[in-house]
Structure 1
Amino acid sequence: MAMEPSLADLRERIVAANAAKTPLRLRGGGTKDFHGEALVGDVLDTRVHRGVVDYEPSELVITARCGTPLAEIETALAQHGQFLPFEPPIFHADATIGGVIAAGLSGPRRASAGAARDFVLGAHLLDAHGELLRFGGQVMKNVAGFDVARLLCGSLGVLGLIAQVSLKALPRPREEVTLRFECNDAEALAMFHRWRAQPLPISATCWHDGIASVRLSGSSSALRAACAALGGTMINEAEALAWWSSLRQQSHEFFRRSDKPLWRLSLPATAPIDASGGDLVEWSGALRWLRSETPAGGIRTRTEKLCGTATLWRGERNGVPMFHPLAAFNLELNRRLKRQFDPNGIFNRGRMSAEF
């Protein structure tokens, strides 16, 4: 099968860069330039390779080229009452689906619906030799052996150019309501724990500044029963949409502040608040955002004791790596994967780690 002209042009640049061992910086809309370490190399703009390749609403699967704007995909899905359940952050209208998958970030619905990688059915990867590798497919049960398509999710483009991706979509919930409760952080965590053990249609939770918010999604009867069981104060639809959007897009004032470094802590949901800190708590307690001037070593040591990781999301690095250091075994796995797909290290050099 002949390669599309836009992809052939990208391939030509990749092959030339690999021959010269010149680093390339894979870039779509640039909305996640902050997410990672160094930005090194000549920019390879993926937006030239764009467009929805296939969309079957009855199959709940959409396939798009890497440079396709996320907004375009979400519009196509919305016309059929569908959406991407992991609610990827957009940050800016220029976000592309290739960048969404390379970053692997998920929004408020992640704890109930799953992570970005859980909705990747298949992908095409253009490697350093210019070979177009195909992984997975367009149905749920298609993976045998090592699931490379999902491995690409969160890879930050260090393995190659994610040329195309197939994603599972879901129907939008019939109705949604948001309840709020006045409580402190420990009380909120206790409530989240109780709710997880109950058959409740919870699609998102958050605690911040003395208020716990819970979003319920489903049928009218299910929401009525859940509201009766939980209590709390229901907020109007417009306010609820604005609130959850401000978390998903990180447009809330909490994320815009720059007074202290912002840490993203990934922890077991049962980890105690007083041991981890957390100025804003999502995902039933599994994701905690912390503003702190405590040295990075102290934060990461404390987080490791709770079996979690700490990412320096925003703030001056001063030589501190953004991502939590990998254990020796995991680091070696990453090295081997990098050597296999990109032996000369041309793709997004130093973006994930100084190691590669």
Structure 2
Amino acid sequence: MRSQDDSEYLAGRVSEACARGEPLRIQGGGSKTCYSGSGEGGALSTLAHTGIVHYEPTELVLTARSGTPLAAIEAALAMSGQMLGFEPPHFGSGATWGGTVACGLSGPRRPWAGSVRDAVLGCRMVDGRGEVLRFGGEVMKNVAGFDVSRLMAGALGTLGLLLEISVKVLPRPECETTLCFECPSAEGRERMIRWGGSGLPVTGMAWDGRLYLRLAGPEQAVSAAARRVGGDRAVEADTFWNGLREQTREFFSGKGDLWRLSVPPAADIGGLSGEWLIDWGGAQRWLRTDAGRNEVLAAAQAVGGHARLFRSANPAAMRCAALAPALAALHRRVKAAFDPAGMLNRGLCPEAS
């Protein structure tokens, strides 16, 4: 894998842009623009800033530069029988390490193995003034107090340009199997809630017309759990979970806006028309709908959750709900501390959760 440290160049570009008052649009592989939007300003590419800086399998920690292809990182981990626990989506061959962390997206394993934010141990970054900052470290004992490095996960580059990110990694499970069940969505949610508190070695639960349960761990434990819950062994299980993670399943190519709703697993969201896919044991719901933005946001808020417009035919559509005044004030203070002039990825809407 090619390795090149472009830290000095990237910091210099940000410093120059800040002095001129010209906003910058941080750009990696562009694989997740459908989610983040394109932002404003001149493009600043991280693609030349590549390489795994540190990886010692016995320590379960990896540090890589932001322009490193996500596929290269996963390949290096696989050679040592390890993986990224948060199972990040690629959404294309150009996915980079920095974009993966900046977007903060996790796959089907997230409720059981943790999110991107949970995995981050430390980072080096360039703030909106062009200064290089370092937060956290490469071991868990360095992650204490107000962990600034984890703010970068899901911030969409609005707080700074990521140079290097250190994360904890996990061993690949010894055994994995997927079971499927014929049932309607309401029954599927009930089963997922029951299984979620049963002590089963679960690493994925989703409903897409059928209910899918993924079990992983020591072979004896997986076999015992499979006998306990029954169901049919899923054919082409990897295809299902990869299709869910990468949004290549037929559901995601349907008509209408694609919304992601984060809600309590037992929540019953009635009154919204469209097609549903349920992930994360019921806590993440995907909706394909022609319903209006306010209708979807209100339905999610009514059950104690929130919604985000994930993909739309209208690139100018507002993706997030307005933050509560106290939370909006906190966001402004954090933004002012890192990027007081609003130079970086102006116009993007980071996750509030």
TM-score (ref. length: structure 2): 0.95
Correspondence for 2:288 = 291
Instruction: Give the fraction of aligned pairs with identical amino acids, expressed as a percent.
Output: 46
Correspondence for 2:349 = 352
Task: Identify if the C-alpha distance between structure 1 residues 293 and 218 changes in structure 2 by more than 3 Å, giving closer, same or farther.
Answer: same
Correspondence for 1:300 = 297
Alignment of 1:58-137 (within 5 A): 58-137=58-137
1:233 counterpart letter in structure 2: D
**Do structure 1's residue 263 and structure 2's residue 259 form an aligned pair?**
yes
For residues 340 and 325 of structure 1, the distance between their equivalents in structure 2, rounded to whole angstroms, comes to 21
1:150 counterpart letter in structure 2: R
For residues 50 and 32 of structure 1, the distance between their equivalents in structure 2, rounded to whole angstroms, comes to 19
For residues 232 and 161 of structure 1, the distance between their equivalents in structure 2, rounded to whole angstroms, comes to 47
For residues 126 and 33 of structure 1, the distance between their equivalents in structure 2, rounded to whole angstroms, comes to 21
Alignment of 1:131-170 (within 5 A): 131-170=131-170
For residues 36 and 55 of structure 1, the distance between their equivalents in structure 2, rounded to whole angstroms, comes to 29
Correspondence for 2:249 = 252
The Cα shift of 1:5 comes to 5.6
For residues 5 and 36 of structure 2, the distance between their equivalents in structure 1, rounded to whole angstroms, comes to 30
Alignment of 1:153-192 (within 5 A): 153-192=153-192
For residues 265 and 335 of structure 1, the distance between their equivalents in structure 2, rounded to whole angstroms, comes to 24
Correspondence for 2:9 = 9
Q: Deviations over 1:56-113 (max 9, x none)?
A: 1000000001111101100110000000010000011111110000000000001111
For residues 76 and 197 of structure 1, the distance between their equivalents in structure 2, rounded to whole angstroms, comes to 34
State the aligned residue count: 346
TM-score (ref. length: structure 1): 0.94
2:313 counterpart letter in structure 1: E
The 3-state SS of whatever aligns with 1:48 is coil
For residues 322 and 214 of structure 2, the distance between their equivalents in structure 1, rounded to whole angstroms, comes to 34
Q: Deviations over 1:113-168 (max 9, x none)?
A: 11110000001111122211110000112123321110100000001111100010
For residues 73 and 55 of structure 1, the distance between their equivalents in structure 2, rounded to whole angstroms, comes to 10
Correspondence for 2:196 = 196
For residues 235 and 264 of structure 1, the distance between their equivalents in structure 2, rounded to whole angstroms, comes to 26
1:260 counterpart letter in structure 2: G
Correspondence for 1:310 = 307
Which range is displaced more, 269-278 or 63-72?
A: 269-278
Q: Do the aligned residues in 2 keep the contact of 1:87 with 1:108 (CA within 8 Å)? A: yes
Q: Do the aligned residues in 2 keep the contact of 1:37 with 1:321 (CA within 8 Å)? A: no
After superposing on structure 2, the runs of 4+ consecutive aligned residues of structure 1 that deviate more than 3 Å are 273-278, 316-320
**Do structure 1's residue 330 and structure 2's residue 327 form an aligned pair?**
yes
Task: Identify if the C-alpha distance between structure 1 residues 16 and 276 changes in structure 2 by more than 3 Å, giving closer, same or farther.
Answer: same
The 3-state SS of whatever aligns with 2:261 is strand
The Cα shift of 1:12 comes to 1.3
Gaps of 5+ in 1: none
Task: Identify if the C-alpha distance between structure 1 residues 276 and 150 changes in structure 2 by more than 3 Å, giving closer, same or farther.
Answer: farther
The 3-state SS of whatever aligns with 1:141 is helix
Alignment of 1:188-227 (within 5 A): 188-209=188-209, 211-227=210-226
Superposition RMSD in Å: 1.5
Q: Deviations over 1:148-204 (max 9, x none)?
A: 110100000001111100010000011110000000000000001111121101100
For residues 181 and 329 of structure 1, the distance between their equivalents in structure 2, rounded to whole angstroms, comes to 44
The Cα shift of 1:276 comes to 6.6
For residues 319 and 129 of structure 1, the distance between their equivalents in structure 2, rounded to whole angstroms, comes to 28
The 3-state SS of whatever aligns with 2:309 is strand
The Cα shift of 1:318 comes to 7.6
For residues 102 and 58 of structure 2, the distance between their equivalents in structure 1, rounded to whole angstroms, comes to 27
The Cα shift of 1:319 comes to 5.4
Q: Deviations over 1:254-312 (max 9, x none)?
A: 1122x211111010112125467761000010000111111111111111011111111
For residues 267 and 55 of structure 1, the distance between their equivalents in structure 2, rounded to whole angstroms, comes to 36
2:262 counterpart letter in structure 1: S
1:266 counterpart letter in structure 2: S
For residues 157 and 176 of structure 1, the distance between their equivalents in structure 2, rounded to whole angstroms, comes to 35
The 3-state SS of whatever aligns with 1:16 is helix
Task: Identify if the C-alpha distance between structure 1 residues 41 and 319 changes in structure 2 by more than 3 Å, giving closer, same or farther.
Answer: closer
Correspondence for 2:229 = 230
For residues 291 and 146 of structure 2, the distance between their equivalents in structure 1, rounded to whole angstroms, comes to 40
For residues 184 and 269 of structure 2, the distance between their equivalents in structure 1, rounded to whole angstroms, comes to 10
Q: Do the aligned residues in 1 keep the contact of 2:36 with 2:103 (CA within 8 Å)? A: no
